[in-house]
Chains A and B, each alone.
Chain A
Amino acid sequence: MSSNAIPTASELQKNGFVARRQLILKVTTLFLFLSAALSIFVTTAIVVILVRDSWAFFTEIPLVDFLFGTMWTPVFANPQFGVLPLLAATLQTAGLAMIIAVPFGLVMAIYLSEYAKPALRETIKPALEMLEAVPTVVYGYFALLVMTPFLQAFIPGLKGINLLVPGIILGIMILPYVVSVSEDAMRAVPNGLREGGYALGMAKWQVAIRVVIPGAFSGITAAFILGMSRAVGETMVLAIAAGQNPNLTWDPREGAATITAYIVQMSLGDVAHGSLAYTTIFAVGLLLFLITLTFNVIGFYLRRKFREAY
């Protein structure tokens, strides 16, 4: 038997080739499966850790006081644990971000999907991605040291630390994401529908508003909801430019700590592990996680709906 002859099946089994291949196949399949399953482990771990470490907090502070209290002074001598000031600041900045991102994002997405020529689109999209690539701490620097002093010249009463500027910056930050998800949805609308519109004598803008937007409605809504979720969870811009003072206000010219800014503030000061102050960051973290989870789940299903529709 010469060495370069093609081995027979029984030879391959005898010299261990088959066994070796089967072992490799099993081991690699297991590794691949475990890697995929890791994502489930991470989600479970997030929930378990947040619940476990905030448990002590919720046994001491009634849930009603936490959710509806209007004072957040956890390190004072007479501590109050009402989360409303943090929540109000979070929702205000996220709301301001949406005021920027919704109209801008919609116009931009319509432009990219209906008007821009492919070559132009290929230039604009990477440029938008660059906006997304800027580290959030740089945006924070920009909000605090450049944009706030600039806007103070135009807006009377705008404090050096305020909710307005971080809100605007957040809007610009989530713009690329909102544009890309809603443009995806618009491009998924079949061309047949557009052509139907043209056949009825519609102009391009009419097709965009009466055919494409209704057709892509669930996807566009998903884009806004997912964008909102990102704005709610954003941290550094707010920690730097919105201040760290829990302040229940509806005036965006004033500063107020958001949920994320509070977590940063507490983490910077060395908090003793296991103290009540330590558990507060997990309690507000749990609240933040639940808010973003709700947005993400709604967004996910809406997004899936437009993918299924066509």
Chain B
Amino acid sequence: MTVTTEGNLGTPAKTGKTAFKAERAAKRKDLIFAVGGLVVMAIAMTLLLTLIGDLVIRGLARVDYDFLTNFPSRKAARAGILSAWVGSLLVMLVTAFLAIPVGVAAGLYLEEYAKKGKLANIIEINVANLAGVPSIIYGLLALGLFVYGMNLGKTVLVAGMTLALLILPIIIVSTREAVRSIPRIIKEGAYGLGADQWQVMWNYIIPAARPGILTGAIVGLSRAIGETAPIITIGALTFIAFLPPPPVTGEFPFISFEWLNAPFTVLPIQMFNWVSRPQADFHTNAAAAGVVLMMLTLSLNGIAIWIRFRLRKAHRN
């Protein structure tokens, strides 16, 4: 039993009565802390639910087949998000294709290959720092380096590369954590059988770390899909009433990469565009785009949380 004499640790409580009083006071203060934590949690969750509720009430009715298959329009009632979600999808393809292999490779290098030394230390500080660089700075980097430096233009490829750089630290960190949690015995067993370092990585470490890597990749992509600022900075148009050329063509060689060089728009930019208009009808459209965007990011995050939950259960057993 805790007997407290708050503010007066030197002299113990003299009588049972004062000790009893002190304990009651301590319990009361404990209660205040516990309730405080729950209240903060409740405020945060109320805000989140209000936000989702408002989007759904205002926007859900607007999300129908036409909304998903129409191009943006000057008339709010006829406007849709076709070019926006196709653009988001294509940009995400490029981002995933670039960020996941490079991020996993960098994570493996830092965790398994790098000798503890100056260089490894510098890279580590650097990754931590990159994770804290504001996303709009990545946009400026892309504007100066990709758009004007390499003359790549304001294309799907540039947006994909920019977002890939942005989410790289997330994937690196989650890969390192996943690799670190693999029992050493797996590695040592493989080395003992004569595998070289790459064979160990490819056949044992990467498969064992896959759920952790996957979680990081999904969280990274869900962040990239909602990211607006860097895409605005590279100068993506907001009014795009056409689709990029399709990746599959009727003629030989049947696969085309023309879409990489096409101008584009993405969901969050379309939403931003509608929010900043004065008419209430466009605000309804913005809410509808927000519903679609929230469904995408929340379900991606839900999947990531579920994978992590299963992983933890597997570890416990």
A residues contacting B by CB (< 8 A) are 21, 24-25, 28-29, 31-33, 35-40, 42-43, 45-46, 49-50, 52-53, 104, 107-108, 110-112, 114-116, 122, 124, 126-131, 133-142, 144-146, 172, 175, 198, 200-206, 208, 226, 229-230, 232-236, 239-240, 260, 263-264, 267-268, 270, 273, 281-282, 285, 288-289, 292-293, 295-297, 299-300
Known: A127-B41, A203-B29. 15 other contacts (CB 8 A): A29-B197, A33-B109, A35-B105, A42-B141, A50-B137, A108-B37, A115-B30, A133-B300, A138-B290, A139-B51, A141-B275, A145-B54, A233-B137, A236-B272, A263-B140
Whether A288 touches B134, Cβ cut-off 8 Å, given contacts A236-B228, A273-B148, is yes
Residues of A near B149 (CB, < 8 A) are 49
- Cβ contacts under 8 Å, B44 to chain A: 104, 128, 131, 172, 175
Q: Give, as a whole number of angstroms, the nearest-CB distance from A220 to chain B.
A: 15
Question: 26 A-B contacts, Cβ less than 8 Å apart?
Answer: A21-B196, A29-B198, A32-B113, A33-B109, A36-B123, A39-B123, A43-B130, A50-B140, A108-B40, A131-B48, A134-B48, A134-B294, A137-B271, A138-B290, A141-B286, A203-B27, A233-B133, A233-B135, A240-B272, A263-B233, A267-B233, A270-B235, A273-B148, A297-B129, A300-B125, A300-B129
Chain A residues, CB < 8 A from B6: 203, 206
| Residue B256, interface by CB 8 Å | no
Interface set of B (CB-CB < 8 Å, partner A): 2-6, 9, 12, 23, 26-27, 29-30, 32-34, 36-38, 40-41, 43-45, 47-48, 50-51, 54-55, 101-103, 105-106, 108-110, 113-114, 122-123, 125-130, 132-141, 143-145, 148-149, 165, 168-169, 172, 196-199, 201, 222-223, 225-229, 232-235, 238, 268, 271-272, 275-276, 283, 286-287, 290, 293-294, 297-298, 300-301, 305, 309
Q: Are A135 and B140 within 8 A (Cβ)? A: no
The docked-state distance in angstroms from the alpha carbon of A229 to that of B130 is 12
Contacts of A52 in B (CB 8 A): 144
Classify the interface of chain A: helix, strand, loop or mixed. helix
> How many Å lie between the Cα of A295 and that of B134 in the bound state?
12
B40 x A46 contact (CB < 8 A): no
Q: Tell me the complex Cα distance, A255–B132, Å.
A: 26
The 8 Å CB contact of B51, one of A142, A200, A285, is A142
A129 to B201, CA, bound (A): 31
- Asked if A35 contacts B297 (CB within 8 A), the reply is no
Taking CB atoms, residues of chain A closer than 8 Å to B141 are: 42, 45-46, 49-50
Q: Which residues on B sit within 8 Å (CB–CB) of A112?
A: 37
State in angstroms the CA–CA spacing of A131 and B123 once bound together: 30
Task: Evaluate whether A133 and B4 lie within 8 angstroms (CB atoms) in the complex, with A35-B105, A285-B137, A292-B132 already known.
Answer: no
Query: Are B106 and A36 closer than 8 Å at their CB atoms?
Result: yes
Would you call A282 and B140 a contact (CB within 8 A)?
A: yes
Chain B hits for A111, CB < 8 A: 33-34, 36-38, 40-41
